[in-house]
Structure 1
């Protein structure tokens, strides 16, 4: 169990046997750039107070990497066989890595065991022992599986087969800001988001409030690219039966399509805007119910003030007098409803409210109340029977999308 007090370089080294680093401790960086592990089936467990650099390394046989470090860089690394990465504390970079067989990345919950003790992690004391993946750009993720990994800062742009990426355990994504926007009259709702969306919104003068400031060298992607990323990741989550997570990514996909002025037609953007405003793309039940309550309140008020007649029309029977012994012809008719003429405040009565509420509640379920209405009331009821069931359907859809499995 060796201890290295200064930076160690194993660049372009070929390990023809086991890499004997069992229990090794590096107080500074450990560099294995371009190294080749021909027969080593295990690397570690080891601890590093700096960065373990395995950029361009090649692993020819099935291998297990057990590393506790501040950072682990595997840019351009290649696995010719399957591999398991068990990490602690690390920020992991997998940019341009080549995966020919399944590779699993997990956050190890406890210090790595040795014979009768554990690997010394003194240089890492006080840090979060979780694993944060920073990039899979340029990676074919069809063979990649992640377990208990922090993906809040991960860049997915440039990766392929994201719909086949396995995300299991307690993997976390970035979160959209929560609360009221200081400049616009709307409230951000809680949802999972990609780091790339944070980059795009933070650099937009209109949407920057509350979104994480991106690194200076982070590229800003177009909304069309972000929509494609959300779409692929959503499919992967749906295949893994993570429906609530997939719903958040569907929200993100629709948001990017709504803001994409290059590839989304104006009519489609208008429809998406309406869908967003009324129900949050069918994912915000509270928004749909709020609109439903507003619509019902407005309809009740309209019926009370203008929709109900002054008096309920009573049937009238008319006929003509004939000579004795001849048949009598009688006609029964209901006169047209008479518009109220009293002051508006006088129309706000309990009786009229009860009648209006009955009409509106029946309208929500596409039923007619049978109440006589004025011309204005008839059109109000028609509009209510068209809009309010749709809003109710949006609310039911939103609840379904959040609880289905």
Structure 2
């Protein structure tokens, strides 16, 4: 399935067959999704929420590069998603994983700079692959997760929120 538009909403959806979704969207809501088979989401430009998911098999969240697409199609996708052309090469941005069993989640080529992990289950079993963006500690430059970044901002006001381009890649 290929989708292009402003919103991709599969919140509360049940997927019971192996599925692959390619989407170019500004927002992707996958909250409370239920899967019984392997599901793959290849996303471009999206800010993604995957909270309280019920996963029976692996769920892949991956960046969707412009491989095999004409430049005009990419520009149309960006326009449809109400994004600026500066996002053509941007990684999809995972915003929240609260309540999701991360032992079944594989993240590949995504931006985690603003991702909130609080309440996620099995963080130690989360699989990260490819290019992953994390925020940096304000003074040391070490990688961290957004929850720590926001905690430190509360301790030291004025540090701000991780913005696109302000993090560091793992590759």
With the length of structure 2 as denominator, give the TM-score of the two structures. Answer: 0.83
CA offset at residue 118 of structure 1?
Answer: 4.5
Q: Counterpart of 1:93?
A: 49
Q: Which has the higher contact order (CA 8 A, sep 6+)?
A: 2
Q: Counterpart of 1:126?
A: 85
CA offset at residue 212 of structure 1?
Answer: 2.7
SS in 1 for 2:41: strand
Large movers: runs of 4+ above 3 Å: 111-114, 117-120
1:143 aligns with 2:99: no
- Kindly indicate which of the two structures has a greater share of residues assigned to helix: 1
CA offset at residue 130 of structure 1?
Answer: 1.7
The structure 2 residue matched to 1:158, chosen from 119, 128, 141, is 119
The structure 2 residue matched to 1:208, chosen from 134, 150, 157, is 157
For structure 2, the residue ranges without an aligned partner over 5 or more in a row are 163-169
Conserved 8 A contact 1:84-1:104: yes
Q: Counterpart of 1:47?
A: 4
CA offset at residue 198 of structure 1?
Answer: 2.2
Alignment of 1:308-319 (within 5 A): none
CA offset at residue 196 of structure 1?
Answer: 1.2
Q: Counterpart of 1:75?
A: 31
SS in 2 for 1:109: coil
Q: Counterpart of 2:20?
A: 64
Rounded to whole Å, the distance in 1 between the matches of 2:64 and 2:8 is: 17
SS in 2 for 1:199: helix
Q: Counterpart of 1:196?
A: 147
For structure 1, the residue ranges without an aligned partner over 5 or more in a row are 1-42, 178-187, 214-244, 246-405
- The change in CA–CA distance for 1:112 and 1:61 in structure 2 (over 3 A counts) is farther
SS in 1 for 2:131: coil
**CA RMSD, 1 decimal:** 2.1
Conserved 8 A contact 1:174-1:192: yes
Rounded to whole Å, the distance in 2 between the matches of 1:51 and 1:208 is: 33
With the length of structure 1 as denominator, give the TM-score of the two structures. Answer: 0.36
- Kindly indicate which of the two structures has a greater share of residues assigned to strand: 2
Alignment of 1:250-265 (within 5 A): none
- The change in CA–CA distance for 1:197 and 1:211 in structure 2 (over 3 A counts) is farther
Alignment of 1:223-234 (within 5 A): none
Conserved 8 A contact 1:66-1:112: no
